Amino acid sequence: MKKVRDRFIKNLRYLCLIGVIALGLMTIVGTDGGGGGGDGGTSEDTSSTMPNGETETDVSTSLISAYMAIIHGQEIDAFEEDQKAIDREDSAHGQFLSGGHVKRYMANLTNHIQNFVDNSVQYISQVADTKPIDKIAIEELFEDYNSTDIAYMKTFTNAHLAPHGEGIVLLAIEELTPDINDIYDIALLQIEIL
């Protein structure tokens, strides 16, 4: 029960953060830059530059970036929690050093990266339906997360699969790298057609 409550509290924290960010950005957009006197919120050209110098595209990119950061953090946390459960189960059955354990580890990692990318693309698509988006900036975000996930995968794989031996670690990294790159390449194609 404590595990369920801890996970709920962790997710609640992310949801509250999303709410605060969304509310702040909606306030900025709704008041045409917010703050001070004047006629904030009365501009008829919503694509123009706001008093604070930001465009609506800048705001949508900031919103997308914040959303992706939160979702990425949630997926990494969920991956690590799921991996602990897989480790316990495999250890209990004497399979921790088996090839099956390595395959379950790799599937768990790629599944969570795929979830992050799918959720991000879906959210970006929703934003693009109502606001202009900067595809180049969004593609750069995906490229940054691709690099981040490759680096994370290498570090985690080196530490986690070390008991299997260096050959297995290198093989896992060699197989995971193109899998992760493929996930992000497909996302970039999806963004391109928005």
Predicted confidence band of residue 28 (pLDDT cuts 50, 70, 90): low
pLDDT reading at 41 higher than 50: no
DSSP letters for 32-87: TS-SSSS-TT--S-TTSPPTTS--HHHHHHHHHHHHHHHHHHHHHHHHHHHHHHHH
Express each pLDDT in 89-148 by its tens digit.
999 999 988 999 999 999 999 999 999 999 999 999 999 999 999 999 999 999 999 999
Enter the DSSP assignment of 94.
Answer: T
Rounded mean pLDDT of the chain? 84
Higher-pLDDT residue of 13 and 86 is 86
pLDDT value at residue 17? 56
Percent of the residues in the chain that have a pLDDT greater than 70, as a whole number: 73
**3-class DSSP state of 190:** helix
Contact 146, 181 (CB under 8 A): yes
Global model pTM greater than 0.85: no
Q: Which stretch of 37-41, 88-92, 148-152, 160-164 has the lowest confidence by average pLDDT? A: 37-41
- Distance, in Å, from the CA atom of 94 to the CA atom of 101, rounded to the nearest integer, reads 10
Residue 28 buriedness (CB in 10 A; 0-12 / 13-18 / 19+): buried
Contact 76, 112 (CB under 8 A): yes
If you average pLDDT over residues 175-193, what whole number do you get? 96
